[in-house]
Structure 1
Amino acid sequence: MQRRMFGLGAALITLVGVAGCGSSDSGTSGSSSSGGGRTTTVKVGIVPIVDVAPLYLGQKKGFFGSRGIKVEMVPAQGGAAIVPGVVSGQFTFGFSNTTSLMVAQVKGVPVKSVANGAASNGKVGGDVTAVMVKKDSPVKSAKDLAGRTVAVNTLQNIGSTTVRESVRKDGGDPDKVKFVEIPFDQMPAAVDDGRVDAAWMGEPAQTIAKAQGARVVASPFAETDPKLTVATYFTSTQTVQKDPDLVKNFTAAMTESLEYASAHPDEARQILPTYTKISGDVLKNLILPSWPAEVDMASLEKLAGLGEQDGLFGGKKPDLDTLFS
């Protein structure tokens, strides 16, 4: 995870060339199961963060296995890097923030959301992402970020768009915020040693930063929309057409996983050490997102509008009904 993945723009330029091509490294393979049936192994590109806990929990509970699916998770830095992997066939499914999927669609990349992923929990000051600053920072609220340097994990994406909205709502000038790209796991140190003025952190980064004395000055997801659909699981339109039963079964298993994680948050929390290094007080104290089974289309319309306002879509509008319904 220390390795820097290629950026959103480069990823999407690459996609234009590979969107219609297959890959010799297929993300799907078949093997016989002990029950005499057929088990399909699928590679799922994920960001190894708290948000994907339901996927791991669902695999453990047998929700995928009961539908003939064996899931192999492959980590990446962000959705902007996972999108090309899905379209090229490296992954069968992927986990991506919704802004990355919108950007991909307006670029002509053939992707389709198939299951919800994660949402804001709606708690300002206690959401799954937050803008953090050092304890003694002069930044007191979002408007003070104008003229400051703020770290995000991927430039020109959901982080910068929602941070800009927090600044805008607080009466600041979002055009005066300077964004730099730093991986989530490096953000607490970057804030602590003054390399950046603030950082938009997911979990467990923000809990680690709090233990170092950092303060929350904005909750961009909750401040954008308390029901904001942050991320979904997706596949290529080619997979939807060629293997609709696989897609249907994956969607059903993922939906059951989301429902189970929502009803059993302690179990979702305890699955985290199986795919992250989270443990101890960080595991106990970190903030969980919301895991609704369905996307919130009104929040996606709001997010798309902000993306248009920030120029993420090149003057085009994403077709949300085609992409997410």
Structure 2
Amino acid sequence: MKTSRTALGGIALATAAALALAGCGGSDGESGGDGEMSDVTLMLNWYPYGEHAPFYYGVEQGIFEEHGINLEIQAGQGSTKTAQAVGQEQVDFGWADTPAVLANIDSGVAIHSVGVFLQTTPSAVQIFSDSGIETPEDLVGTTIAVSAGDAPTTVFPMYLEAVGLSESDVTQQNLDPAGKIAAMLSGQVDGLIGFAHDQGPTIQAESGREVSYLRYSDAGLNFFSNGLIAPDTTIADDPELVSAMAAATSEAFQAAADDPQAAVEAMDGKDPQMPEADVLQNQWEETILLLHTDATEGEAPGVTAAEDWENTLTLLSDAELISGEGSVEDYFDDSFAPGA
């Protein structure tokens, strides 16, 4: 049964807020005859990259405006900071990684997921295709860059176990996100742990070498990634706005998947930190592959399956990323999925 469903760091959250990117698809006034427009702020998980194309495309195409939303997109500084900014109602909605969202809810941040859109984890070991590393077994004796504390790194030992290896088979070098990419480009490490739809296209563009991925999901380890979050107060006091935002986001993701090139072109010039157009294109096309699981194939973006939520909670609990004491309802409000 269905229920609803990087490389630069260290800059203060205030700087990210100063980089707010105003959507140009709406203004105060009427929206389709249904009422006045609502000014809505959305904080991303990071500086804009290809995964975020649907938001810009949705603004350009008037999708958010059709739902009565004048959307302002703000750069983020990591999913944890985004989750906390939403909980403190510094912004209306957030776009954040599910493990970080759930961990913050466990810590008392008053937010809920209102729709997961990246339902297949992008977590992967990323290596150069000409490195000779073709299968998980080829990782024996390699040095892999990681970032301690993030979900892909924390789950890495589970990945190694799933493919028949042990932690001692691989040397892990702890670096920040920018340092991981630099180390791989310079040959100091054999690969890195991260999001295949983010770092991989960047590394490929900078090196001129093809990047391959050993995906956690191919080893049977899947958990939810990025999605839409809202403050509990907004969910309680203005559910119509949450429904409108979730519906518009779903429509924007579908429209962007139907026309990837146009979606990426809508990002042009929107932020100085944005990658080059070819990197954005590669990132968004990689993101499209993550929008569903086997249980939700054919459903609208953002519609999740109960079994995938349960699997996510179990895996993240086993990895000690969340408490393991919460139920799906403690983290996710299923009232706002398309068709709910």
Normalised by the size of structure 2, how large is the TM-score?
Answer: 0.72
In structure 2, what residue type is equivalent to 1:206?
G
Aligned to 1:295: 304
C-alpha distance 119-264 of structure 1, shift in aligned 2 (>3 A): farther
Whether the aligned pair in 2 keeps the contact of 1:145 and 1:167 (CA below 8 Å) is no
| Correspondence list, 1:1-325, <5 A | 2-4=8-10, 33-35=28-30, 38-46=36-44, 47=46, 48-120=48-120, 130-134=124-128, 140-143=134-137, 145=139, 150-152=144-146, 155-174=148-167, 178=172, 180-183=174-177, 187-199=180-192, 200-211=194-205, 212=207, 213=209, 215-224=211-220, 228-275=223-270, 276-280=274-278, 282-283=279-280, 285-286=282-283, 287-290=285-288, 291=291, 292-313=301-322, 315-324=323-332, 325=334
Q: Distance in 2 between matches of 1:132 and 1:252?
A: 34
Q: Distance in 2 between matches of 1:103 and 1:51?
A: 22
C-alpha distance 307-115 of structure 1, shift in aligned 2 (>3 A): closer
State the Cα deviation string for residues 220-241 of structure 1 (Å, max 9, x = none): 2454457x53221001111211
SS at match of 2:331: helix
Shift of 1:150: 3.8
C-alpha distance 318-208 of structure 1, shift in aligned 2 (>3 A): same
Shift of 1:285: 4.3
Identity of aligned residues (%): 21
Count matched residues: 290
Q: CA RMSD in A?
A: 3.2
Q: Distance in 1 between matches of 2:114 and 2:189?
A: 37
**Structure 1 stretches lacking a partner, 5+ long:** 7-30, 122-127
Shift of 1:32: 7.2
In structure 2, what residue type is equivalent to 1:4?
G
State the Cα deviation string for residues 174-232 of structure 1 (Å, max 9, x = none): 4866363523x654322122444421244343123235236425112454457x53221
Shift of 1:138: 7.0
C-alpha distance 3-210 of structure 1, shift in aligned 2 (>3 A): closer
In structure 1, what residue type is equivalent to 2:257?
S
C-alpha distance 298-262 of structure 1, shift in aligned 2 (>3 A): farther
Q: Distance in 1 between matches of 2:237 and 2:275?
A: 37
Normalised by the size of structure 1, how large is the TM-score?
Answer: 0.75
Of the structure 1 ranges 300-309 and 84-93, higher mean CA displacement relative to structure 2 is found in 300-309
Bigger relative contact order, structure 1 or 2 (CA pairs below 8 A, ≥6 apart): 2
Q: Distance in 2 between matches of 1:179 and 1:103?
A: 25
C-alpha distance 318-146 of structure 1, shift in aligned 2 (>3 A): farther
Q: Distance in 1 between matches of 2:254 and 2:129?
A: 38
Q: Distance in 1 between matches of 2:280 and 2:306?
A: 31
**Structure 2 stretches lacking a partner, 5+ long:** 1-6, 13-25, 292-300, 335-340
C-alpha distance 284-41 of structure 1, shift in aligned 2 (>3 A): closer
Q: Distance in 1 between matches of 2:230 and 2:142?
A: 37
Aligned to 1:14: none
Shift of 1:54: 1.7
Whether the aligned pair in 2 keeps the contact of 1:144 and 1:172 (CA below 8 Å) is no
SS at match of 2:287: coil
In structure 1, what residue type is equivalent to 2:65?
G
Whether the aligned pair in 2 keeps the contact of 1:162 and 1:224 (CA below 8 Å) is no
C-alpha distance 266-245 of structure 1, shift in aligned 2 (>3 A): same
C-alpha distance 209-62 of structure 1, shift in aligned 2 (>3 A): same
